[in-house]
Amino acid sequence: MALKTYHSFRELQADVQSGVVSCEEIVGHYLRNIEEKNKTLNAFVEVYTDFALAQAQALDARIKAGEPVGRLAGMVIGIKDVLCLKDFGLQGSSKILDKFKSQFTGTAIQRLLDEDAIIIGRQNCDEFAMGSSNENSAFGVVRNAADTTRVPGGSSGGSAVAVQADMCWASIGSDTGGSVRQPASFCGLVGLKPTYSRISRYGLIAYASSFDCIGPITRNVPDAALLLEVMAGADDFDSTVSQKPVPAYSQQLAWNGAGKKIAYLRESLESEAIAPAIRESMKKRVEFLKQQGYTVEGVEFPLLEYILPTYYILTMAEASANLSRYDGVRYGHRTENAPDLETMYKRTRAEGFGREVKRRIMLGTFVLSASYYDAYFTKAQRVRRLIKEKTESLLTEYDFLLMPTSPTTAFKIGENSAESDPLAMFLADIYSVQANVAGVTGISIPAGNDEQNLPIGLQIMANAFRETDLLAFSNYLEQQTF
Ligand SMILES: NC(=O)C[C@H](N)C(=O)O
């Protein structure tokens, strides 16, 4: 029997708790959709059929027995292939982690399980989260369900498409420089990058540790708020995580706009490099907010042109160090019949890593090498500091900064590929990396469609640990019709 369409998790949860619908039926619905659509879309790389059904049955039994259940009972979630779930495969969508199994469950995922979420499978992504189109995956490209000739965005492309195509209720991705927000925008969804250190990274494959954040991809803002609330907070297993108490984000979504000041990046309305439909969508939102009586001002970000090089120099440097652990000794793939240890390392890494990952390891190693360290790495660290300070002061003067999530909507598969023009791919991240360079929070919410009916994303940034306000404002905007 087909599952009725639920518009909010609250509605679904009420039916689950009163026994109108069982968790087994819900899981069955998603398994059927996966069966039907995944061959084309390639969003899941592994489906945990037995595990998901067992979780559902156990939960149904508890509900029947009148036992209390967690805040996520009835929510079926997919996880990006960079998040550990004990005894299940984990590969960062790379050949080098072939057949690797997680030795433990990461904190964020454990917290979802503790609240009775059902984990249905792991999702395709760019290899080690490096990319913006999901074309750099050992499992092949993911297709955007709005137009299967187009990319879903990346690197959490499979996670976005799985929600877009109703193969799970929500997904958990990771965002190092837009990897949650940009695919969410390409697929018409909400993608939240929390403040750096808000969610523990214990059990997240490290890409660039001073940038990496875990974040939810959902259909709406209240779900993002609820998932953040469940996953965030102090954790003994991650010394970088913030000790700040976690607000009840999902209970504080009512918007009180009194006295709020909103900035928008002036070039969002003017730059020829931004698709006309995206500029138009921005304009409508800016005008709407002005009409509502808010102080809304266009601003320039003088360091904008330095953000991308800073991001790529630093993330590649960190990646080259983080990825040195894949040596064929401890994890996954190992080359066969190497005559000595050094050849074994070299061949394992040459065979196991894809082209984009190799490019980044080489560039990262270069900027960290003794002769170039100061010229690139140290300089980029200094510039990062300036970008962080400028961003924070802008977000102190204004409550929110609006800009597009991406300068274009979903592009064609192959059009921007890292193979043909890696720089073009990097340039598309121009607006999404600032929040990570500065460590603040940002969200992408749906903002209409372009002339080809492809989703547009509006990005809203707020200062560190201002998620409560950010989510309430996003929730308010999400409810308007433009
Ligand atoms: N990982 C991310 O957040 C995506 C970004 N485009 C990168 O390749 O670094």
Q: Where are the beta strands (DSSP E) in 126-212?
A: 170-175, 190-193
Q: How many angstroms from the chain centroid is the CA of residue 373?
A: 30
Catalytic residue among 80, 94, 193, 242: 80
**Among 147, 140, 201, 136, which residue's Cα sits nearest to residue 175?**
201
The ranges assigned to domains in the chain are 9-251
Say yes or no: CB of residue 318 within 6 Å of ligand 1: no
Local structure of 414: helix, strand or coil: coil
Distance 361 CA to ligand 1 centre (A): 14
pLDDT in tens, 234-248: 999 999 999 999 999
Query: In sequence order, what are the residues at sequence separation of 6 or more whose Cβ sits closer than 8 angstroms to the Cβ of residue 24?
Result: 53, 56, 57, 60
- Is residue 155 reached through a cis peptide bond, with omega within 30 degrees of 0 on the bond before it? yes
Q: Write out the two tokens for 23.
A: 């968790």
pLDDT band at 2 (very low <50, low <70, confident <90, very high): confident
Active site residue 101: no
Partners of residue 44 on adjacent β-strands: 123
Residue 315 near ligand 1, beta carbon < 6 Å: yes
pLDDT at 152: 98
Establish whether 22 is a catalytic residue: no
For range 46-51, the mean pLDDT:
98
User: What are the CA-CA distances from residue 477 to residues 71, 213, 276 (Å)?
Assistant: 25, 24, 21
Ligand 1 closest atom vs CA 315: 9
Element (H, E) at 275: none
Structure letter (DSSP) for residue 479: T
- Which pLDDT score, from 0 to 100, does residue 417 have? 66
Element (H, E) at 98: none
Average pLDDT in the 242-259 region? 96
Is omega for the bond preceding 132 within 30 degrees of 0, making it cis? no
| Packed helices 467-478 and 221-231: angle between N→C axes, nearest 10 degrees | 160
Q: Quick check: 475 pLDDT over 80?
A: yes
Per-residue pLDDT tens over the stretch 307-346: 999 999 999 999 999 999 999 998 899 999 999 999 999 9
Q: Global pTM?
A: 0.97
User: Cα(312) to centroid of ligand 1, in Å?
Assistant: 9
Q: 3-state class of 467 per DSSP? A: helix
Q: What are phi and psi of 148, to 5 degrees?
A: -75, 0
Report the separation in Å between the CA atom of 208 and the middle of ligand 1, taken as the mean of its atom positions. 10
Give one word for 481, left, alpha or beta, with left for phi > 0 and alpha for psi -120 to 50. Answer: beta
Which residues fall within 8 angstroms of residue 312, CB to CB, at 6 or more apart? 363, 426
Beta-carbon contacts of 326 under 8 Å, excluding residues fewer than 6 positions away, are 96, 97, 332, 348, 349, 352, 353
Q: Is the CB of 152 under 6 A from ligand 1?
A: no
Percent of the chain at pLDDT > 90 equals 95
Q: Give me the pLDDT at residue 426, please.
A: 81
For ligand 1, what atom is nearest to the CA of residue 132?
A: 6
Report residue 419's pLDDT band, with 50, 70 and 90 as the boundaries. Answer: low
Tell me 165's DSSP state. Answer: T
Q: 155 CB under 6 A from ligand 1?
A: yes
Averaged pLDDT, 7-13: 94
Strand order in the sheet with 44-47: 44-47, 118-123, 76-80, 170-175, 213-218, 190-193, 441-449, 455-462, 400-404, 261-265, 295-299
If you average pLDDT over residues 138-146, what whole number do you get? 98
Q: Which atom of ligand 1 is nearest to the CA of 176?
A: 3
Tell whether ligand 1 has an atom less than 6 A from the beta carbon of residue 177. yes
Q: Name the superfamily (CATH) of residues 9-251.
A: Amidase signature (AS) domain (3.90.1300.10)
Give 130 Cα–ligand 1 centroid separation in angstroms.
Answer: 5
Output the CA 61–ligand 1 centroid distance in Å: 42
- Look up residue 96 and give its DSSP letter: G
Catalytic, out of 132, 179, 242, 406: 179
Q: How many residues does the chain have?
A: 482
Neighbour-count burial for 187-214, b at 16+ CB within 10 Å, e otherwise = bbbbbbbbbbbbbbbbbbbbbbebbbbb
**Which ranges constitute the DSSP H helices of 292-378?**
304-322, 341-352, 355-368
Ligand 1 center–CA 311 separation, angstroms = 9
pLDDT digits (tens, 9 = 90+) for 365-387: 999 999 999 999 999 999 999 99
Tens digits of residue pLDDT in 76-126: 999 999 999 999 999 999 999 999 999 999 999 999 999 999 999 999 999
Locate the ligand 1 atom nearest the alpha carbon of residue 175 and give its number.
Answer: 3
Nearest-atom index, ligand 1, CA of 211: 3
| Ligand 1 pocket, residue 136 CB under 6 Å | no
Distance separating alpha carbons of residues 13 and 20, to the nearest angstrom: 10
Q: Examine the residue annotation and report whether 179 is marked as an active-site residue of this protein.
A: yes
